[in-house]
Amino acid sequence: MTCIWVDADACPISIKEVLYRVANRTKIPVTLIANQMLRVPPSPFIKALQVPSGFDVADQRIAEEVNAGDIVVTADIPLSALIVAQQAWVIDPRGVLIDQSTIDARLTMRNFMESLRESGVQTGGPSAFTNKDVQAFANQLDRLLARLQKLT
């Protein structure tokens, strides 16, 4: 059975709300993992796990828990690479599906931008999160769930 794992520390509230609706509609378990206490709506399909504070502790827990065919929601590129290597699916909060064909380019770009920042270049941050991003995420998740349902 497919499960959805959420790297919840930086996940936008609007994306969490989409995931809550999906969990209740599809009965697919959604687990949010964060190093802070999370409040989630009462549902047998939604739970939150708090992990200790520390660098990448939530990411490590997700990588330990995920199984092939699961879905992980994260914007973290190194975590995405681990998840793709485990034959699971990754969707970032803006609705981009990350898979084996795209992860290498994303890792290269991340590393390049990190080296620019370390050398003092101001690279700016991501653009503001919009309703269009939420819709793109919801659409991508629906397409992926439909695709997975056909496989079973």
Which segments of 7-130 does DSSP mark as H helices, in order?
A: 13-26, 57-65, 77-85, 100-118
CATH topology of domain 4-151: Rossmann fold (3.40.50)
Cα distance from N-terminal residue to C-terminal residue, the chain = 9
| Segment 26-46, tens digit of pLDDT | 999 999 999 999 999 999 999
Predicted structure pTM score: 0.86
Domain parsing of the chain, residue ranges: 4-151
With contact defined as beta carbons under 8 Å apart, do 68 and 87 qualify? yes
With contact defined as beta carbons under 8 Å apart, do 125 and 110 qualify? no
| Segment 110-132, tens digit of pLDDT | 676 677 677 777 766 677 899 99
Structure tokens at 136: 């793109």
